[in-house]
Amino acid sequence: MQEPISLYDRHDDTKGASTSQQRIQDDQGLGRVGKKQILKRRFGFLSILGFSCTILASWEGILSTFIISFEDGGPAGTVYSFLVVWLGTFSTFLTLSELVSMAPTSGGQYHWVSMMSPVSCQKYLSFITGWLIVIGWLGAFTSTCYLSASQIQGLVVLNHSSYIPAPWQTVLLFYAILAFAVFVNAVASTWLPKFEGFVLILHIAGFFAIIIPLLYLGSHNPAADVFGEFRNDGGFQTQGLAFMVGMTGAMFSFTGADAAVHMSEEIHNAERVVPQSILTSVLINGLLGFGMVLSTLFTMTDVTTALESPTGYPYMQVFCSATSSIGGCTVMSAIVPILVTATAVGSLASSSRMVWSFARDRGLPGWRFLSRVNSQAVPQYSILVVTVAAVLLALIILGSAAVLSDVVSLCVSSLYTSYLISASLLIWKRCTGGIRDSASHTMESLVNTPGAPLAWGPFHIRGVLGVFVNGFTVVYLTVGVFFTFWPDQMNPTASTMNWAVVGTAGTSVLSTVYYVIWARKEYTGPVVEINRD
């Protein structure tokens, strides 16, 4: 059993007096929530902003999942659902920012749930939340690799109309993208912050490289069609119901609010920088995503041809119609899978840190093995486990790509559920006066961990506004989780059914069985590694 250590018994590899004070403050901040500094803090504001922006990748995501919102909502539904999700995501980010400012650990939601839950259900709720995050991020990583692989095949179809994509080719492309993500995370790990900073530039430059020729060269639809035309291709009873189902497309493009949270122990001044970075990222991604939605809808003059594109992605056909050039269309379209591949790098980093953190707190089988780090303070075994799981999930493509799409849709429902549990407990605690002011505890006090007092961090929305933001977040997430389980058409067949509900419920049931049989004897919530004196 791991023994607690003194607050000042730190592992300090920082070189140079200029950064030693910041390192001491970071170690003390982590120590106040009961954790010892293990990972190296390599990220600053700009690098973690790049990380957050490219994980969200909203304009790339909205192009990748465009057909979901368009078929169950039409042009107007796509516009308005994006705005609703943007607002809901921003509210969710504000709530998560308050929580990460209180406890900036890699565990994120399961740590927050543990510190706020009633004693009677503290261990179980935290355990279930941890498993939902693990499954959610595994789905996010897998879906990202799959989207990039299928988009690359779409580019081949675009240039060679006789080419018929084969499932085994998709799997090989999937593995190539996976290998690149592993290389950056495990081999070139010290370059990860610089890589994310570079991708931030590419993320913004790529947007303008697409939108400028698209709007300049393409024909334009009337504004009345874009903002006033709805569709209900799924055959739902009402247009409003179709709108709510189609909204999941925009929700997927904003998934990943907690990516930077799971990197908290590698970020300087995390309790302030993480809230700043994720709130800035949602503003940047929202603006870019909304611009891409409007640009695509205004230049999508031949709807039938776009939706029936042999590439499988309507945006490629929209680009071709606008430029009247296969070469120009290929260059514009290729930007998307390049950036989606970069998103896979960040997804692997975030998911592996979550696995490492949950293993450190004894929530996973083989936790002694998974909680190890190498000489560069990189959780290589957690990276290995996430990679192996993704390799196995990719084999589903050989049977049916549609089944894989259902499996990876777990990322929305699972992650949204973990956000919902955390936000619900936060509003309960703040309304019952269970969180004290940050100035009321000393630097050496143990706070915001199970059994310790709760105290606000530097980022805190005060008064009625804070209650309103948390309340709106709970409502939005409740609606979001509910509709992530709906199929995209009425009377679905086995192949068109949305099986996310089975995966989410199955994860909850299996983890509950695992908890009852074994984990309740090992898992007690986040392990306190730091003494308060």
Task: Please give the pLDDT value at position 233.
Answer: 85
> Does residue 15 sit within a domain?
no
Q: What pLDDT score was predicted for residue 170? A: 92
At 102 the three-state DSSP class reads helix
**Rounded to whole angstroms, how far apart are CA atoms 105 and 449?**
10
Tokens coding 141: 């990583």
- pLDDT one-digit tens code per residue, 323-363: 999 999 999 999 999 999 999 999 999 999 999 999 999 99
Percent of the chain scored above 90 by pLDDT? 51
Q: Read off the amino acid at residue 456.
A: W
Which amino acid is located at 265 in the chain? E
Residues in a beta bridge with 267: 43
The predicted pLDDT at position 28 comes to 78
In a domain, 21, yes or no: no
- Over the chain (533 residues), the average pLDDT of each successive run of 10 is 37 49 77 87 90 88 86 91 94 94 93 92 93 90 91 94 90 96 91 90 94 92 92 88 88 83 92 93 93 94 88 91 92 94 93 94 90 89 95 85 62 88 94 78 73 90 93 94 84 74 80 86 85 54
**Residue-wise burial string across 53-71, b where 16 or more C-beta atoms lie within 10 A, e elsewhere:** bbbbbbbbbbbbbbbbbbb
pLDDT of residue 443: 55
Which pair of structure tokens corresponds to residue 104?
Answer: 């900036």
* pTM metric for this prediction: 0.90
456-467 burial string, b = 16+ CB within 10 Å, else e?
bbebbbeeeebe
Quick check: is 481 in a domain?
Answer: yes
Specify the pLDDT at position 27: 74
Quick one: 438 exposed, middle or buried, by C-beta within 10 A (0-12, 13-18, 19+)?
middle
Sign of CA dihedral 158, 159, 162, 164: negative
Asked if residue 379 lies in contact with residue 215, where contact means CB atoms within 8 angstroms, the answer is no
Classify residue 51: in a domain, yes or no: yes
| Within a domain: 17 | no
Q: 14 in the Ramachandran plot: left (φ > 0), alpha (ψ -120 to 50) or beta?
A: beta
Residues in the chain, overall count: 533
Is 423 among the domain residues? yes
In a domain, 533, yes or no: no
- pLDDT for position 7: 33
Task: Say what the pLDDT of residue 208 is.
Answer: 95
Please give the tally of structural domains in the chain: 1
What pLDDT score was predicted for residue 10?
A: 39
Is residue 12 in some structural domain? no
CB of 98 closer than 8 Å to CB of 371: no
pLDDT digits (tens, 9 = 90+) for 384-417: 999 999 999 888 888 776 665 566 567 788 899 9
Q: Which residues of 235-252 are buried (b: 16+ CB within 10 A; e: fewer)?
A: ebeebebbbbbbbbbbbb
Query: What range does the domain containing 288 cover?
Result: 40-521
Q: In sequence order, which ranges of 302-325 are alpha helices (DSSP H)?
A: 303-307, 314-323
CATH number of the domain within which 482 lies: 1.20.1740.10
Q: How far is CA 125 from the centre of its chain?
A: 21
Residue 11's pLDDT is 41
pLDDT of residue 382: 95
